Chain A
C-alpha cells in the first residue's frame, strides 16, 4: 500500500489535518463533521483524556487540568502540569497530533505514518526540533517541517486562489497569515521563501 503523507497545521488555537488527493487539498473532518480541532488537552472528572472541543469545554471550570496554547511553550525546557502529572510541551502536542492522526486514519481508512507539519516562520531551531519530536511521539514521521506562510503560498500556487492577506509587488509576494494569535509573514520569490518574520501577539485573538 502506498504511503500517505498528510499535512498538519499544528496551531496555537486550533489544529487541522489535510490530505492532497484528486488534485486538491482536502481538510479532513472528524466523525462529528468538525474540520478544526481546538489545540486543547484536558483530563475529565473520571480521569479520561479529553482532546479538542471537549477539553476546551471544561477549561473555565478546570483550568488546573486543562492545557491550551501549548505551542507557545514548544522548544522551552519546561514542564506542563496536567492533573497530577507533568508533561513536556512535546508530549502535549503529541496528544493533539495523535488525535489528528486518528481522524485521518478513520477518514482515509488506512494507517497514516508520515506528515508534513507546519510551524510559524519565526520558529527557532529548538522549536522546530520540538515539533519534530512531538510528531515522532505521536507515531508520525515528520518528513518536512514547513513554514506556515510557505504552505499557504504553495496552496495558492497549486491553483487554490484563496489566501489570507496576500500582497504582490515587483514579482515578489509577501504572504501574511493572521490566525488565532499569530501574525506571520514570509516573502516569496521564484517559489522560494525568504525573510520570514512575524509577531506572536498580533493575531486576531488576544493573548490570555
Chain B
C-alpha cells in the first residue's frame, strides 16, 4: 500500500471518529473489553497466567507472614497470661499462708489494746506486785505509755502490711464488714446504726481479714 492511500484512509477514519459522540465511544470501549474477555475465555495467555501466578505467590507470601506474626503475637500473649497466672497463684499461696499469721497478730494486738484501755496495775492492789517493783523507776503512767508505744508500733507494722482497721462506728451496719453481737435501743439514733465496736475488724489490702464485732441500734425490739 502506497503512502498516499494510507494517508487518505487515516484521514477518513479520523473524520469518522470525530463524528462519534461520547456515548458511542463508551459503547465501543465496552465492546473492546468484552472482546478481550472472550479472548481470555477461549484461550490461555501463558504470559498473563505467569504474571497472575507471580502476583498470587507474592500475596500468599504476604499472608503467610501476617499469619506467622499473628501466631507469634498469640504465643506471646498466651505466654504472658501463663506467667501472670503463675504469679497470681503464687501471690494467693503467699496470702493463704500469711493470713492466719496476720489474724493471730491481730489477736495479740487486741490484748495490747485492752491493756492500754484498762486500768493499770496498782501497787496498792497487790503486795506481790509492790514487792516486784521495789526500787524500780516506774509508775502506772510509764507502764501505760510503754504499752501504748508498743501498740503504736504494732499498728504501724500492720499498716505497712496493708492491714487497716474497719471504720464501722456510727455508720449503718454492714454484715459484710461486721458481726452483730448485740443490740441496744437509742431513740435518738437511726435504726441499724452501729453504736459500739466490741472488737475491731480489719481489712487486708481491701479485703476483709476479720469482721468487727459490734452492737447495733435496734429501737423496734
Contacts and interface: CB of A to CB of B under 8 A. Distances in A.
B183 A61 contact: yes
A32 interface: yes
A114 interface: no
Contacts of A31: 207
Contact of B175 (A29, A32, A33, A55): A55
B115 interface: no
Contacts of B173: 45, 58, 61
A61 B96 contact: no
Contacts of A13: none
A198 interface: no
A192 interface: no
B182 A33 contact: no
Interface size class, chain A: 10 to 19
B218 A61 contact: yes
Given A54-B175, A57-B175, A61-B216, A32 B180 contact: no
Majority SS at the chain A contact face: loop
A107 B207 CA distance: 18
Contacts of A129: none
Interface size class, chain B: 10 to 19
Interface in B148-199: 172-173, 175-176, 178-183, 192
B176 A54 contact: yes
Contact of B211 (A33, A42, A45, A57): A57
A16 to B, nearest CB: 17
A44 B174 CA distance: 8
A61 to B, nearest CB: 4
A42 B95 CA distance: 29
Contacts of A61: 173, 180, 183, 192, 216, 218
23 contacts: A29-B96, A31-B207, A32-B207, A32-B208, A33-B96, A33-B99, A45-B172, A45-B173, A45-B192, A50-B175, A50-B176, A53-B211, A57-B178, A57-B179, A57-B211, A58-B175, A58-B180, A60-B180, A60-B182, A60-B183, A61-B180, A61-B192, A61-B216
